Amino acid sequence: MSVDTLTAADPIRLEVALGERAYPILIGAGLLERAGEWIAPLLKGRRRVVVITDTNVGPLHLPRLTAGLAAAGVSVDTVTVPAGEGSKSWAGIADLVDRLLDLRVDRGTLLLALGGGVIGDLVGFAAAITMRGVDFVQIPTTLLAQVDSSVGGKTGINTKAGKNLVGSFHQPRLVLADMDCIATLPPRQLRAGYAEIVKHTVLGDAAMFAWLEAGGGAALLAGDRAALAKAVRHSCETKATIVAADEREGGQRALLNLGHTFGHALEAETGFSDTLLHGEAVAIGMVQALDLSVRLGLCPAADKARLVAHLVACGLPVDQQACGGPFDPATLVAHMRLDKKAKAGELTFVLCTGLGSAIVRDGVPESDVLPVLSEAH
Ligand SMILES: NC(=O)c1ccc[n+]([C@@H]2O[C@H](COP(=O)([O-])OP(=O)(O)OC[C@H]3O[C@@H](n4cnc5c(N)ncnc54)[C@H](O)[C@@H]3O)[C@@H](O)[C@H]2O)c1
Ligand SMILES: O=C(O)C(=O)C[C@@H](O)[C@H](O)[C@H](O)COP(=O)(O)O
Ligand SMILES: [Zn+2]
């Protein structure tokens, strides 16, 4: 089904099968205008929600959401936070929780996260800790958030020591992905979100990678809504399946971290700033992960070359030079030792065993990693 033929009455509906915490993912067009249809039933008779959004998204998309809720008799309090990764911080979470408490939220209050991955991660964390846990809904407005961050319940903030090192698993009650939001997204942000789509194919679906490579990706980036719908659906299905099998990353969920051990180190080195967007870090990190995989004899060099060629064709960065590097390899390795996958300070990586399949490898020697960090691609 293409998004051109979708209406709010018939969105694509997927499910994250987590037993009593299972929730739907709705993907379609015109969903904000009808949000009350899906959100009012979550309110248990209440008539008020708190929407948390950022300074870019609010003016663009909040009026449609507010109207959609009003149509179902639901009123809205709004909290607006500064746009950008800086809000995913100790200061950002303290400020948000204080503002929620000032609004007199209680355990029955539903929070709506309207924005990209920063808003989703921040609001999800606020929902996890306010009153020891309130419900929230993800309303992702970036491509990255629609294909990745809104699904799976990882919430949290960045700290001085690194990316996402403080947070919790707290699943949303609903994910409402309205494709109309993507129309206002700056091209650089669209490309950054595309990197996570590529990731889902590299770790699990060679045929879908080939589809992206053969023109599906270019079509999506040029605004083709059918291509967009196909890719968003594929990513959400991939992620929902993995999360349902391993919610708390005891095993296979770590595959979703492909490119992130390298990428998060680069984000830390560039100060969690606009110099390097998360999706761009993932693009570079995936290339480095495939480089390491090739060096360890796990992956054909030709597969790494295909990935690099595709990312370059899509306008994504593939090496550290694109974000002010190369950075000191020892400093990058020090960041990686703080990664949540590391065990007793030993390095763990998600490695590729050929396009479409990946494994988790513990105890990778630093001597194997250092050459990757000096390489341009
Ligand atoms: N929890 C997870 O599973 C998960 C997965 C992937 C990424 N993440 C996290 O997500 C964050 C990155 O998310 P992101 O790339 O969405 O960044 P973001 O939330 O900062 O959004 C990017 C920019 O686009 C703006 N924006 C958002 N929607 C818009 C729209 N429709 N039109 C115009 N502008 C819009 C935002 O204001 C911001 O300036 C990172 O912190 C990353 O660690 C989390
Ligand atoms: O959902 C997951 O699991 C992921 O790893 C998805 C990643 O794209 C995302 O960036 C996630 O926030 C990384 O998690 P972390 O545990 O490495 O902080
Ligand atoms: Zn990511």
Closest CA to 133 of 115, 106, 102, 164: 106
pLDDT value at position 5?
A: 55
Shared domain for 170 and 203, answered yes or no, is no
Q: What angle do CA 173, 174, 180 make, to 5 degrees?
A: 155
Does 181 appear as a known binding residue? yes
Shared domain for 98 and 114, answered yes or no, is yes
Residues 141, 116: contact at Cβ < 8 Å?
A: yes
Q: Crossing angle, helix 225-245 and helix 187-204, to 10 degrees?
A: 50
Shared domain for 80 and 191, answered yes or no, is no
Q: Which residue has the tokens 């996260």?
A: 113
Residue 178 three-state SS: strand
Shared domain for 135 and 226, answered yes or no, is no
Shared domain for 234 and 146, answered yes or no, is no
Shared domain for 172 and 201, answered yes or no, is no
Q: Work out which ligand 1 atom sits closest to the CA atom of 145.
A: 16
Closest CA to 178 of 60, 268, 19, 311: 60
ipTM for the assembly: 0.99
Shared domain for 296 and 261, answered yes or no, is yes
State the sign of the Cα–Cα–Cα–Cα dihedral 302, 303, 306, 307. Answer: negative
Does 139 appear as a known binding residue? no
Instruction: Express each pLDDT in 115-145 by its tens digit.
Output: 999 999 999 999 999 999 999 999 999 999 9
pLDDT value at position 7?
A: 59
CA distance 270 to 46: 44
Shared domain for 340 and 281, answered yes or no, is yes
pTM: predicted TM-score of the whole model, two decimal places: 0.98
Q: Work out which ligand 1 atom sits closest to the CA atom of 54.
A: 37
Ligand number with the minimum distance to the CA of 119: 1
Q: Crossing angle, helix 187-204 and helix 278-295, to 10 degrees?
A: 30
Residues 250, 27: contact at Cβ < 8 Å?
A: no
CATH code of the domain covering residue 33: 3.40.50.1970
Domain total of the chain: 2
CATH code of the domain covering residue 265: 1.20.1090.10
Residues 216, 231: contact at Cβ < 8 Å?
A: yes
Instruction: Express each pLDDT in 161-202 by its tens digit.
Output: 999 999 999 999 999 999 999 999 999 999 999 999 999 999
Give 10-residue mean pLDDT values along the chain (377 residues). 57 98 98 98 94 98 98 97 98 98 97 99 99 98 98 97 96 98 98 99 98 98 97 98 98 98 97 96 98 98 98 98 95 95 92 98 97 85
User: Strand 110-115 and strand 48-54: pairing?
Assistant: parallel
Shared domain for 70 and 205, answered yes or no, is no
| Omega within 30 of 0 (cis) for the link into 326 | yes
CA 120 – ligand 1 centroid, Å: 8
Q: Which residue has the tokens 């968003």?
A: 232
Shared domain for 199 and 178, answered yes or no, is no
Shared domain for 198 and 155, answered yes or no, is no
CA distance 260 to 24: 27
pLDDT value at position 374?
A: 87
CA distance 238 to 357: 13
User: Among this protein's residues, is 278 annotated catalytic?
Assistant: yes
Does 109 appear as a known binding residue? no
Shared domain for 334 and 246, answered yes or no, is yes
Q: Which one of 159, 184, 209 terminates a domain?
A: 184
Residues 6+ apart with CB under 8 A from 312: 318
Give residue 122's domain range. Answer: 3-184
Q: Can you say how many angstroms the Cα of residue 147 is from the centroid of all Cα atoms in its chain?
A: 7
CA distance 289 to 319: 12
Catalytically annotated residue among 44, 104, 132, 343: 132
Ligand number with the minimum distance to the CA of 54: 1
